[in-house]
């Protein structure tokens, strides 16, 4: 049996215009009746950590601690409401979505890989008709988030997921494609034979230029 090919997509600022984790947190807090200052404070903590050079994986873990004690069902429902709201605002980047549809028409598997979590990813994946979405998995106890996660789906973890999916699904990775917009997507891009750099991240663009990778520049809404 001939191995199938796949197209792997990062999500935030690759398929969609926004950083889903932050936009969802703002939406969820507002839905819960929190003042805007609550989001500003929590977002400020993460931004300050990033400026201090704290690894992206650690920031990802810190983000999910905000959900400690939150009801999983409530967060999941909020995710669907958030998606409907964002969809009305023009959530998707049409150029990258067109690429995804082209891969679907070629009967390739569509796999999403993101540091975000199921509350955000599931409605996105369903709307796009993706075969599967791999995200950061928050730990759950008795229907509530504990605030901890398994491995953050950041950096090298994305590359490992591509390799694992290739083995489990019998994929021809040298003939497969991956799309990413940030240097943290580098391991994912290197795991396939046809990497595509989306957007204008200067460091990732440098890798693309040196390696002869394809580049895609979606129009950014003002």
Tell me the C-alpha distance between 197 and 178, whole Å.
Answer: 8
108, 170 Cβ separation under 8 angstroms:
no
Has residue 222 got a pLDDT over 90? Answer: no
**pLDDT value, residue 2:** 57
Q: Tally the C-alpha atoms within 13 A of residue 205's C-alpha that lie toward its C-beta.
A: 7
**pLDDT value, residue 219:** 64
The CATH number given to whatever domain includes residue 184 is 3.40.50.1000
Confidence of residue 99 (pLDDT cuts 50, 70, 90): very high
Kindly report the CA angle at 217 between 57 and 157, in degrees rounded to 5? 20
Has residue 79 got a pLDDT over 90? Answer: yes
Average pLDDT, the chain: 94
Within a domain: residue 207?
Answer: yes
207, 184 Cβ separation under 8 angstroms:
no
**pLDDT value, residue 47:** 94
Has residue 135 got a pLDDT over 90? Answer: yes
Has residue 162 got a pLDDT over 60? Answer: yes
- If one counts the domains in the chain, the total is 1
pLDDT in tens, 22-49: 999 999 999 999 999 999 999 999 999 9
Within a domain: residue 173?
Answer: yes
Has residue 213 got a pLDDT over 60? Answer: yes
**pLDDT value, residue 17:** 96
Within a domain: residue 99?
Answer: yes
Which H or E run contains 196?
Answer: strand 194-198
Within a domain: residue 1?
Answer: no
Within a domain: residue 222?
Answer: no
Confidence of residue 218 (pLDDT cuts 50, 70, 90): confident
Q: What percent of the chain has pLDDT over 70?
A: 97
2, 105 Cβ separation under 8 angstroms:
no
**pLDDT value, residue 221:** 42
Distances (CA, A) of 184 to 27, 116, 169, 188, 203: 25, 13, 24, 9, 10
**pLDDT value, residue 16:** 97
Distances (CA, A) of 32 to 7, 65, 88, 176, 210: 37, 17, 21, 42, 48
Which H or E run contains 166?
Answer: helix 156-169
Distances (CA, A) of 98 to 102, 150, 174, 189: 6, 32, 22, 19
Within a domain: residue 176?
Answer: yes
What mean pLDDT is predicted for residues 85-106?
96
5, 111 Cβ separation under 8 angstroms:
no
Outline where DSSP puts E strands in 101-176: 109-113, 132-134, 138-141, 144-149
Q: pTM for this one?
A: 0.94
Domain hosting 67: range is 6-216
């Amino acid at each position: 049996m001939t191995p199938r090919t796949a197209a792997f997509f990062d999500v935030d600022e690759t398929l969609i215009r926004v950083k889903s984790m932050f936009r969802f947190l703002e939406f969820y807090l507002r839905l819960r009746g929190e003042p805007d200052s609550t989001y500003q404070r929590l977002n400020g903590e993460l931004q300050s950590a990033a400026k201090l050079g704290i690894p992206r994986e650690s920031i990802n873990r810190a983000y999910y601690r905000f959900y400690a004690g939150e009801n999983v069902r409530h967060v999941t429902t909020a995710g669907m409401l958030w998606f409907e709201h964002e969809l009305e605002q023009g959530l998707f980047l049409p150029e990258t979505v067109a690429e995804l549809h082209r891969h679907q028409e070629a009967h390739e598997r569509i796999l999403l890989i993101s540091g975000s979590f199921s509350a955000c990813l599931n409605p996105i994946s369903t709307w796009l008709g993706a075969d599967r979405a791999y995200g950061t998995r928050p730990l759950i106890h008795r229907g509530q988030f504990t605030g901890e996660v398994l491995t953050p789906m950041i950096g090298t973890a994305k590359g490992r997921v591509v390799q694992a999916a290739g083995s489990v699904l019998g994929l021809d990775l040298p003939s497969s494609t991956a799309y990413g917009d940030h240097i943290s997507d580098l391991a994912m891009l290197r795991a396939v034979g046809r990497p595509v750099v989306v957007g204008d991240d200067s460091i990732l663009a440098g890798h693309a230029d040196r390696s002869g990778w394809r580049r895609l520049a979606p129009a950014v809404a003002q």
